[in-house]
A = this chain, B = another copy of it.
Amino acid sequence: MSPDLNAETAPSIRPGEVAVDLPATFDAGLYFIGRIRTPWTKREDCPKNAGESDTVCTIELDERYAAALDKVETCTHLIVLYWMDRARRDLVVQTPRHYGDGRGTFALRSPVRPNPIALSVVKLLKVEGTRLSIQNIDCLDNTPLLDIKPYFASVDSRPDAAVGWHRDRANEAK
């Protein structure tokens, strides 16, 4: 496993984007613990916003971890962490096509980031053995699964939170 693993799939840089040299070695290792099955096999087919998508998708957890699902069925919503294995990792400023100007990677939810861990809050419909039926995810079929966590509204829900650059942009469009 080399830090250059995904270099061959890295797209070219857009005007205004900034890349950095990444460290020569990794600091920790991840296990892929399952796969997320969705109907989308190309990035352009994925829903732009996971919240907009009611498509039912499936988490297929490796049998090894089956016992770890005990009591998960009592949760209405889960936080799913997954690995964006096709994303480059070296961009610190990005110019998403639909925005036009650059912004920092940590102000974006783009898959392109030093550690391409994506996060979705999903609705849990059903648990059958090691298969979980979920809604509100927008990733490619066969995306590697990293973690499943119960969603606690008391600490995870902040209905009044705002992303200023995004709100300002929405206001300008009015």
Contacts and interface: CB of A to CB of B under 8 A. Distances in A.
Q: Which 8 interchain pairs have the tightest Cβ spacing?
A: A74-B164, A26-B29, A70-B104, A68-B92, A77-B161, A71-B107, A68-B105, A51-B155
Interface in A57-86: 64-79, 81, 83, 85
Query: What is the count of identical protomers in the complex?
Result: 2
| Chain A interface extent, by class | 35 or more
Contacts of A32: 27-28
Contacts of A147: 106, 113-115, 117
Interface in A121-174: 121, 136, 144, 146-166, 168
Nearest to A28: B30
Contacts of A158: 76-77, 121, 151, 153, 156-157
A72 B33 contact: no
Contacts of A5: 28
Interface string A78-118: 11010101000100110000000011111111000111010
Given A107-B150, A149-B106, A23 B28 contact: no
Interface of A: 1, 3, 5, 18, 20-23, 25-33, 49-51, 64-79, 81, 83, 85, 89, 92-93, 102-109, 113-115, 117, 119-121, 136, 144, 146-166, 168
A148 to B, nearest CB: 4
A114 B33 contact: yes
17 contacts: A20-B64, A26-B29, A50-B155, A65-B114, A68-B92, A68-B104, A68-B106, A76-B160, A76-B163, A77-B158, A81-B115, A81-B117, A81-B119, A151-B158, A152-B161, A156-B156, A157-B158
